[in-house]
Amino acid sequence: MTQTIDPVAGPGSPQERVDAWLNRFESALAAGDARQAAAMFAADSYWRDLVSFTWNLKTVEGREGIAHMLESCLADTAPSGFRTTEAPVESAGVVEAWIEFETAGGRGKGHLRLTDEGGWTLLTSLRELKGFEEPQRERRPKGAHHGTIRGRRSWAEERDREETELGREEQPYVVVIGGGQGGIALGARLRQLGVPALVLERNARAGDSWRKRYKSLCLHDPVWYDHLPYLPFPDNWPVFAPKDKIADWLEMYTQVMEVPYWTSSEVTSAGWDDEAERWTVVVDRDGEAITLTPRQLVFATGMSGKPNIPSFPGMELFQGDQHHSSQHPGPDAYAGKRAVVIGSNNSAHDICAALWEHGAEVTMVQRSSTHIVRSESLMDIAMGDLYSERAVSSGMTTDKADMVFASLPYRIMHEFQIPVYKQIRERDADFYDRLEKAGFLLDWGDDESGLFMKYLRRGSGYYIDVGASELVADGEIALAHGKVDHLTADGVVLADGTELPADVVVYATGYGSMNGWVADLAGQEMADRVGKCWGLGSGTTKDPGPWEGEQRNMWKPTQQQGLWFHGGNLHQSRHYSLYLALQLKARYEGIPTPVYGLQEVHHRS
């Protein structure tokens, strides 16, 4: 039976209570007493560690889970110096405190929630490695070597030399496949940490993964949520940036942050050598075949993975245009045409609205219910306290907002989200009533927890309304329901026999798991070895159990040595790129990285 001790209940200021808890906690850790440290937590408690203790992204639950983790990690970690960084606050019987600490090899930050029963939630995160700190502020590089130096090379000449030799005379330690927002953010982190890395982008320019999408595409998340590492957007940046503006920013960012970056470079194969413990990555760089041999390979090909392109009977008979939403060229060519869009999530709504604006006759085929939330309500109620001008004015930084979000364990996050979306539902009741009267099938997630949980669990099933829902409610975008049975030469036929005449069919049918790219490049056996990416194992729709506790395979070690996944929205690309970069840096420097709780594979795709 787990020992229980007084969790420092009773009188005292929030500061005194937190200090007392941290002092006793650190004493138990220093004594190597994992059971005593675990007993200071509540029976229902959660410790989320981002690399600092586990060299993993891992959440352990309850006293037994915490004790098991500490028994495995404590000797190598040697944590010390736990202290608050600002005054703790108390609300509804919960004391919250921001903390910092050290380990044998690094420095960390974290967050503690304390109740009368003990520690409720604890977040610990590695922020830097001792002896390998980033060259920032007082450690920033001089940039110029004063004095006289024979054969001096300029900064530009040195950059040219590096570009010429990288991948030929000098092999990168890390190769990142995918030069979108995720690959660029990770490339910038690795550059600052001094890890030889190379980001590969198959398009001709950085930012083309945005630039080439349909012209109405814009960010649905607000600017405060979307900053990249080191270089935030300027104060006059639009709240919702258009795709081409984001593309140009990514291109500029890649140059300014000196990210080693190859364009027009498509990976054709990747293989792992067990004996040499390195990869062989074959790249077609603008027609030239180049072989790279990195120790670490990161797939940064987007959270959504490969496009799900359906196979309906009769597709070969259809005489109009048909394409997946990822290949949609925009609405210009379809003025006066009959458009059928298969799907009812973000891309489907955006494309339907743009087609309508350009004079097309548009029908949306809704195959299952969709969660809708108005952008204004999402920004105000769900995000306003963390990512908004209001938050900035109150002293909230991007890093602190990221840590607040990270401090909520996934197991209980839905409990915090349910009242948020209940408030949104009440605020926008008329909006939802009009949508349902138009025949749109709405849902709020399996447990009424709304958009964020749908995103984290399955990455689909929602739309942030920036106007298209009004067209649906008003009947300007026609609705049809059901599965597609087949296509004819000039239309789409649904399972109930409904015929939808069409000149263009857009398949807004989503994306598969990221390990589909692994299957293409390294073989199905390796893809099966690492298993599915994304999802929590919540047992909700499209997120089968068992419970994982963290995003499957993302930003952490996988069952294949040297293989990593990086992706997600701009917020996740920014925040989690730090932890992935630190894991790669430690391996590059030969620092021992004993991984606790390596994820098991339960689902292959």
Query: What does the pLDDT average to over 395-422?
Result: 97
Query: What does the pLDDT average to over 511-534?
Result: 93
Question: Given this model, what pLDDT does residue 392 score?
Answer: 96
Percent of the chain with pLDDT over 70: 98
**Residue 581 predicted with pLDDT over 70:** yes
**Residue 443 predicted with pLDDT over 90:** yes
Per the DSSP assignment, residues forming a β-bridge with 128 are 107
* pTM (2 d.p.): 0.95
pLDDT band for 305, please (50, 70, 90 cuts). low
- What is the residue-averaged pLDDT of the chain? 94
Domains and CATH numbers, the chain: 14-129 (3.10.450.50), 160-305+515-589 (3.50.50.60), 311-365+475-509 (3.50.50.60), 371-460 (no CATH)
Query: What does the pLDDT average to over 409-423?
Result: 97
| d(C-alpha 558, C-alpha 549), whole Å | 15
pLDDT band for 304, please (50, 70, 90 cuts). low
Question: Given this model, what pLDDT does residue 291 score?
Answer: 97
Question: Given this model, what pLDDT does residue 258 score?
Answer: 96
pLDDT band for 212, please (50, 70, 90 cuts). confident
pLDDT band for 440, please (50, 70, 90 cuts). very high
Please name the residues in contact with 127: beta carbons below 8 A apart, sequence gap of 6 or more.
Answer: 106, 107, 108, 109, 578
CA atoms within 13 Å, Cβ hemisphere of 119: 29
Question: Given this model, what pLDDT does residue 4 score?
Answer: 39
**Residue 9 predicted with pLDDT over 90:** no
Q: pLDDT, tens digit, for every residue of 155-204?
A: 888 888 988 899 899 999 999 999 999 999 999 999 999 999 999 999 99
**Residue 5 predicted with pLDDT over 80:** no
Laid out side by side, the sheet with 361-366 consists of 321-324, 504-507, 338-342, 361-366, 478-481
Please name the residues in contact with 41: beta carbons below 8 A apart, sequence gap of 6 or more.
Answer: 7, 47, 62, 63, 66, 118, 119, 120, 122
